[in-house]
Amino acid sequence: MDYCTGPSFASGGFIADSAFDGSTVVNGSQQQWFTRNSRLDGWSNGVWNQVFSGVTGAPATCFPCGNPYTTLATSPVTREAPYLYLDSTGSYNVFVPSVQHNSTGTTWSSGPTPGTSLPISSFFIAKPSDSAARITSALASGKNLILSPGVYHLDQAIEVMHPDTVVLGLGFPTLVPENGNLAIRAVNARGDLVSGLIFDAGGRTSPSLLTLGSGHEAGVASDPSVLSDVFFRIGGAAAGKATAALIVNSSNVILDDIWAWRADHGNGVGWTVNTADTGVIVNGDNVTAYGLFVEHFQKYEVIWNGNGGTDVFFQNEMPYDVPSQDAWMESPGVDGYAAFKVAGNVTSFAGYGMGSYSFFNQGKDIFAERAFEVPDSLPAGSLHDLLTIFLDKVHGKGGILHVVNETGGSSTAANADTVVPVVSYP
């Protein structure tokens, strides 16, 4: 938050595996925020949706409140991002943290973070001038991958074929598929760690930008694949198109700080210009997401088809630029698309601190029937602390008619910038 100059608006973020001492964290005007597996000595403020998971010193749950907090005592399953470091001999290594279950606080509070070090010799260090074929060849030989900073224009997908492969971006390298291809496909996604990357859609429609797993591998709870700090853009930097940003086919996967954005501003922006149906599709079972930010996609923003899934914090803005209600209908008689759809055959799913906002700015009344669409047959209380909000009554129109299925009130210009909550569902 820009503390010194008004209006000091801020729109949320993510903290994990961090400790704060000696004062209180001033959360300021953050509309939403997610903190995981950390230690706090104080926390102030909260606008709409503040979520804490496995955080020592976190404020108690209070939702809806003036300072709305959703707090989980422990995080069900976590695995921190890999990182490059220099050891005592002056040699570079990459540290791969171990999986933790039902954890709280930092990984290093009572000693070194559990995990394994990999020598730099086990990595292929790529440059933007390297072709996708060369990078895939190195991965096929058993190497891990470090992507150095820059923009990688890819004429074919980078194929990750072996389990337990590390793909680590330094300086947030950007991957751009140029021929309607994927940017990365992890074929045998068991224990794969992908961290610190930006995916930019290319000018030809890709089926997805990143696909994790083929759907034929189960994955194992003791060795989950993890996507950490992985961001997707459809437009914004340049015109781009994709059917989906991220598809997760494997089971036992952790999504940790994911931002999927169909651009509402910048370069190459328009309803028929930066086209993208869905941000995130989860087909695998037992997938856990922390800090899931998905915005402005043209149909369902998230489709969750797997059983046993958990989402801890979700932030969404529906597409701003819907040209007409007829152009945005889930089915005849059902206005708009839900931001988060749990498939009708799913029998178990848990969600905590999930918000969806609307700002339809084309001067027409555009409505979404609901923000969240889930089977009513889910166990009672599967969803916790849901909300919708109407943004900007001066320039916005329409709104969201229900929070989840047919439950919860409407968010329109009549109650702009006001949380419309559902504390528990079903």
Give the active site residues. Answer: 317
| Strand extents, DSSP E, 142-301 | 144-147, 151-154, 158-160, 166-169, 174-177, 184-186, 193-200, 210-212, 225-234, 244-248, 253-262, 278-282, 288-295
**Is residue 66 packed enough to be buried (19+ CB in 10 Å), middle (13-18) or exposed (0-12)?**
exposed
- Who contacts 278 (Cβ-Cβ below 8 Å, separation ≥6)? 243, 244, 245, 297, 299, 300, 301, 302, 303
For residue 149, say if its preceding peptide bond is cis, omega within 30 degrees of 0. Answer: no
Q: How far is CA 208 from the centre of its chain?
A: 15
Only one residue has tokens 């630029």, namely 321
Cα separation, 172 vs 2, in Å, equals: 23
| Among 171, 204, 198, CA closest to 184 | 198
Kindly report each contact of residues 136-144 with a partner whose C-beta sits within 8 Å and lies 24 or more positions away, as own/partner: 139/165, 144/94, 144/118, 144/168
Which residue type, as a one-letter code, is found at position 21?
Answer: D
Instruction: Specify the DSSP element, H or E, that contains 345.
Output: none
* C-alpha to C-alpha distances, 32 to 50, 293, 308, 401, 402, nearest whole angstrom: 5, 10, 26, 22, 20
Only one residue has tokens 């709409």, namely 48
> Phi, psi at residue 62, to the nearest 5°?
-150, 105
Question: Other CB atoms closer than 10 Å to residue 16's CB: what's the count?
Answer: 24
Let me know: does 2 contact 27? Beta carbons within 8 Å: no
